[in-house]
Structure 1
């Protein structure tokens, strides 16, 4: 029985590692799209916080689709409920991201582009566990 429990634990660990790698890959793709949209909008003269919010919304929609289809392979019977949870997580992360972005750029005078890149990486890492456990419920498999 011990070896079965150990095998099950190893399979869950392997699945989590594979999910993390896929999440990182698709997160990088989404982040590239987010950054491209941000730099484009900000380069066109849009206020950096507004550009951040618009590019973030665009990236969140794409990220949900990629996570659902390719990372967590969710077969949720209630996609609407799952999407609402995903949006709640992303709204909270957007608020935190925007607050930190404002702090770094407007108060601490950090470079806008460097701040955007560093915060994007931080958000990817921070939201993996929340998406895995709260949104896509992969711990129940």
Structure 2
């Protein structure tokens, strides 16, 4: 595995994290949506951002099958969202840790899943 690719994936992930947290915060605090719905919306906006940036910036991928590649990325992301939501729920339910601190912890765990699956399957390095 190329260390530079991991660093780029991390940078892209950071932009996704900012988008995720901003959308989550806005939906939860300003729109008063359920915190798990807000979390799902934030995560979804981040997925689109991350696919585009990872395709062109991280993996320099020119696969002409963009739709199937995005579907693969989306499936991996939905699995990541499921892990994210379940782990967030369990951590919130079983600790007194702040919601956003829990979200940071869970995000770190889900990054490992996303990087591994997308490196091996979506972008096939």
Relative to the length of structure 2, the TM-score reads 0.92
Greater C-alpha radius of gyration:
1
CA distance in 2, matches of 1:102, 1:109: 12
Q: In the alignment, does 2:99 pair up with 1:112?
A: yes
* Structure 2 residue 38 is matched with structure 1 residue 42: no
Partner residue, 1:135: 122
> Deviation of residue 47 (structure 1)?
1.1
Structure 1: which 5+ runs fail to align? 1-12
| Superposed structure 1 runs of 4+ greater than 6 Å apart | none
1:89 aligns with 2:76: yes
Output the CA distance in 1 between the equivalents of 2:16 and 2:5. Answer: 16
Equivalent positions of 1:2-81 (< 5 A) are 13=1, 16-44=2-30, 45-81=32-68
| Ranges in structure 2 where 5+ consecutive residues have no aligned partner | none
Q: Distance in 2 between matches of 1:111 and 1:92?
A: 24
**Mean Cα deviation higher: 109-118 or 57-66:** 109-118
RMSD: 1.3
| Count of residues in Structure 1 that have an aligned counterpart in Structure 2 | 124
TM-score (norm: length of structure 1) = 0.82
Deviations 1:20-64 (A, max 9, x none): 010011111111111111112111222110000011111101110
